[in-house]
Amino acid sequence: MVDEWVDFRAVKAAVNLADVLRDYGVDWLRSHRPGEWQGRCPIHRGRRDDAFHVSLSKNVFQCFACQAHGNVLDFVAAMERCSLRESARRLAQRFAVGISRPGEILSTPVATPKANWLGKNERFNQPLSFTLLSVDHSHPYLKTRGIAPETAVRFGVGFYSGPGLMSGRLVIPIHDAHGQLVAYAGRSMDGAPPKYRLPAGFVKSQVLFNFHRAASLKPQTAIVVEGYFDCLKVYEAGFPSVVALMGTALFPATQTLLLERFRQVVLMLDGDDSGRRATARIATQLAGKCSVGLVAVPSGTQPDQLNAAEIAALLAAHLRPEETIA
């Protein structure tokens, strides 16, 4: 096998750290000062919410707790426990950066725009020109998560063994408000990082998972959860008007989606500190704009860990009978 030459400089020039963070599902960083972000470290997953610092202008990071630091190559090497050379190779493949040998012409790197978690200069997701084939909707992993085969088929969720970025992961199709397929999320099933993989360039701040289905129904109430599996479990419990933030933030675009379609928003976020803070923050955002209901998910649990009866009991006070599946 011929050893691939990777141009480290080309990779660092073509790939910015903001998009790499998004690729690993790091969506909890907050603005520290212009061009700089901080939050919980995704490498050692510590509890300090100010240990991990990112400079978008310099394209570097540093964690003051685990001492990890450097550029995009160092970040991927730390996340995936690999060498810098392997890190560069993976980034080159993931972000379509040309691979060549000295003396050869390097194909033009595909520049990826910087992520913008504040909503300024928002980009829009383009519909995919393909769909993944041979997705196994009956994979045993789904059963361990309490997802019925018919739900997996309806949502298109299943194990993907084909080639590409999502190979060997559980794929979850993501649609925009018009029902167009704009991305796949790939869930690791063996603990390999990242836990969730999203394609470079996907703008999460524009999308609510399952909004296109929920918006087509009669209910005037939207149940808002954090994750994909929370959404699937609430749907299975008989509440189809459920959407997922794919995190803990309600962005301006996704807030507009909710307010234009629903009169009431019921927040059913995780029962941990992060979920409680997000619930309070989003409730404040929506105050005076629509009716807001708050569901107290048991401490230390998530909606996807509850059974149908428990979910129904928590939502009973917020929904009318006609807003459930008979």
The runs of H, that is alpha helices, within the chain are: 8-14, 17-23, 72-80, 84-94, 140-144, 149-155, 211-214, 228-236, 252-261, 273-286, 308-315
Give me the mean pLDDT over the 267-283 stretch. 95
pLDDT of 262 over the 90 cut: yes
Give me the mean pLDDT over the 311-318 stretch. 92
Same domain, 189 and 269: no
Give me the mean pLDDT over the 293-307 stretch. 96
Same domain, 154 and 231: no
In a domain, residue 294? The reply is: yes
Domain that holds residue 179: 135-202
Tokens matching residue 196 = 């969730």
Residue that is last in its domain, among 94, 120, 152: 94
Taking the C-alpha atoms of residue 173 and residue 180, their distance in angstroms, rounded to an integer, is 10
CATH of the domain at 150: 3.90.980.10
Residue tagged 């996704």 (tokens):
254
Tokens matching residue 180 = 């167009």
In a domain, residue 99? The reply is: no
Residue that is last in its domain, among 94, 113, 146: 94
In a domain, residue 152? The reply is: yes
Question: How many domains does the structure of the chain reveal?
Answer: 3
Query: By the 8 A CB rule, do 80 and 74 touch?
Result: no
Torsion from C-alpha of 43, 114, 98, 89, nearest 10 degrees: 0
- What residues does 174 pair with on adjacent strands? 183
- pLDDT per position as a tens digit, 21-46: 877 888 888 887 777 888 989 888 87
Closest CA to 221 of 185, 272, 268: 268
CATH of the domain at 61: 3.90.580.10
Lowest-pLDDT range of 123-137, 146-160, 291-305: 123-137
Distances 172 to 57, 151, 196, 302 between C-alpha atoms, Å: 33, 12, 10, 19
State the Cα angle at 35 between 32 and 38, rounded to 5°: 35
Residue that is last in its domain, among 69, 94, 119: 94
Closest CA to 302 of 204, 231, 213: 231
According to DSSP, the β-strands at 221-225 and 264-267 are: parallel
- The pTM of this model reads 0.64
